[in-house]
Chain A
Amino acid sequence: MSWILVFEQLLNGVQLGVTLFLMAAGLTLVLGIMNLVNLAHGSLYMVGAYLTLAATQWTGNYFAGVALGLLGALVIGMLVEVITLRALYERDHLDQVLATFGLILFFNELVAILWGRASLYAQLPEWLRGHVELFAGSTYPVYRLSVIIVGLIVAVVLWYVVTRTRLGMLIRAGATNRTMVAALGVNIRLLYTVVFGFGAALAGLAGVMAGPIYSVQPGMGELILIQVFVVIVIGGIGSVRGALVGALIVGVVDTLGRAFLKPALSTMISPTAGEAAGPALASMLIYLLMAVVLALRPAGLFPARG
């Protein structure tokens, strides 16, 4: 097992983690600040991917497509918040789960009606398709590298917004004590809509970046949503920092587990044990991790509420 291989797998893990982070950042804010369980977050991811695909075909320009796609996800996110979710803030979590599950069905069918059930092909511009040589003998897809870079830039921007701006202050205050923020005269409704739209655009961005790697198809959001929930439970609900750390941990643990657990078990115990338990254990690793984190720190690694 060479170090180059381990390094490449770490990069793979970070790339997965970054995608998860973009989803988790929005979801954790919505859950932490608005106390809303939003299962339909994956639908916004799907909407971002589809709108970008359609806009890229329409304009013929990749960047215009991405910009329109993100804008579309933002607008649709805000519309969803205003039309359906506002009525749910005062209800209990079960009602929210039911309503947002309904939204999942609605968006999946809507997308299937508009674009069909078949997977669509998301084309990349030529310069994103190649590979770069990181070391001698180790190539890495340019696209995955750019996903990592974009994700880290977004993380820095988010950190700045949350810790250094007035909006961020309100967001943090809202996560800690909503009633007090409202009592101080802040328009909490508007704040909610902005935060939700913001989260939707981040989910849309994750969808945009996932489109060319995975397939753009109805229901694509639900495939990633479970991992995202694991991330925010590990990171601590409502904490952007927790979402980043949680996402990177989940991405790296999942990737390294899939890559090295089987060979490790084979050499440490026996080849048959590795054969039998390796793949099964690798696919449960992040859930085991979540269980351990929940047992030791029930509020997650970086709890938002003191």
Chain B
Amino acid sequence: MIRHFIAGALAASVAFAAPAFAQQQKLRIGFITTMSGPQGVIGGYMRDSVELALDHLGRKVGGMDVEVIYGDDQTKPDVGVQVAEEMLKKHNVDFVAGIIWSNVMMAVAPVVNGAGKIMVGTNAGASPLAGNQCNELYFSTSWNNDQTPEAMGKFLQDSGVNDIYVMAPNYQAGKDMVAGLKRYYKGRIVEEVYTKLGQQDYQAEITQLRAKNPKAVFAFYPGGMGIQFLRQYEQAGLHGKLPLYTVYTVDEISIPAVKDAAVGIKEARFWSPDLKNPANEKYVNDYKKKYGKLPVFYGAQSYDGIMLIDSAVKATKGNVKDTKALVQAMRKANYPSIRGPFQFNNNHHPIQNFYLLDTVKLPSGDIEMRIQKTIFEKHKDSYHQDCKMKW
């Protein structure tokens, strides 16, 4: 029995080891996102954007043949870790990228970095990773969670809105968003309401909101929650009467599901499909051509992640075992980013602009987001001082 087992294990290890030697020249990137369940729609946009990036690069990254291994974290940190370990051990990936959720990232990043590989986060913006848990081998092509609500807070403060009602789901990111808002918004907060994570019906909260009669509303409802909230806000007759300012709520995924209920709602964001720069125009136009719909920021960041990896592999002439050189090259951010040229902060998070976006109905009847103004120029996140890394 035992002898059979050993023989089997030996055979298996030989079987796995052989292709690794044979295909040494191939670059392997593990891309983790959520592909199943209701949030799988986000993963679809990210995967499509990675594929578009590979198309643009002629199916080579940094001049090397490339294989992207996709993994589904099912929005669960433990599954994310499992997927990452499989990528590292079985597929021998050189980079891991992706990840939507902060809690998944907090679990996966240490595993990837611990194995000596570079992690490129293309959405999750967990604050510890920007602050005291920053790591040489961790890069972000998105943002830190607090930055977007900070931009919205700044905009509200500057435009003289001084009486708002705040709503967010009752979990860490919800609290972080409100903390970010308050860092720049100094007016009155009528009430802070935290709803159950994943709640479907907001009618009770909307009735309370109307009774308080605030001048404006700030809301953070990502994904499906946003779709339900926006629609019920409209059904309650508040849309168009009580100004709604949101973060991560109105986007190219929720607009087709709520249609007119999104028109006129203001968002803060670092990017928008109508952002004017050559890299972004190429990305947005080709995305529309290939997939027949507008991309969303989750996708833009993922496209950017692949381009960042490409620039580093190119700079090191394909010597991907030299992680030091790769990190040096990535720090330069020497690639055409969809946000325009930018620099990395000491904590490997972009120093970037944040814009005010309006949701407008075009003469064609399509509803799209349009940049109204720049709120922050070259905005740094609020945690980089806690990061000990210097370069």
Contact = CB atoms under 8 A, between A and B. Distances in A.
Interface of A: 2, 5, 8-9, 12-13, 15-16, 112, 116-121, 129, 131, 139, 141, 143-144, 212-215, 217-220, 223-224, 255-256, 258-259, 262, 275, 279-280, 282-283
B201 A214 contact: yes
A272 to B, nearest CB: 12
Contacts of A220: 38
Given A13-B204, A112-B40, A259-B204, 17 more contacts: A9-B207, A12-B207, A15-B203, A16-B201, A118-B41, A119-B38, A119-B254, A212-B231, A213-B231, A214-B201, A214-B228, A218-B37, A218-B38, A258-B195, A258-B204, A259-B205, A280-B170
B205 A119 contact: no
Given A16-B201, A214-B228, A279-B170, A117 B38 contact: yes
If over half of A's interface residues share one DSSP class (helix, strand or loop), that class is named, otherwise mixed; here it is: helix
Contacts of B200: 214, 223-224
Nearest to B201: A16
Contacts of B41: 116-119
Contacts of B194: 279
Contact of A141 (B208, B237, B259): B237
B108 interface: no
Contacts of A15: 203
B236 interface: yes
Contacts of B236: 131, 141
B207 A259 contact: yes
Given A215-B231, A219-B38, A258-B195, A118 B207 contact: no
B82 interface: no
A118 B257 contact: yes
A255 B228 CA distance: 16
B200 to A, nearest CB: 5
A141 B238 CA distance: 11
Which of B170, B192, B196, B201 neighbours the largest number of chain A CB atoms within 10 Å of its CB? B201
15 contacts: A112-B40, A117-B40, A119-B224, A121-B258, A131-B237, A213-B228, A214-B228, A215-B227, A220-B38, A258-B195, A258-B204, A259-B205, A279-B170, A279-B194, A282-B196
B235 A217 contact: no
Contacts of A5: 207-208, 211
B228 A141 contact: no
Contact of A144 (B38, B203, B231, B256): B203
Nearest to A141: B235
Nearest to A215: B227
A224 B224 CA distance: 14
B205 A213 contact: no
B145 interface: no
Contacts of A283: 170, 196
A255 B204 contact: yes
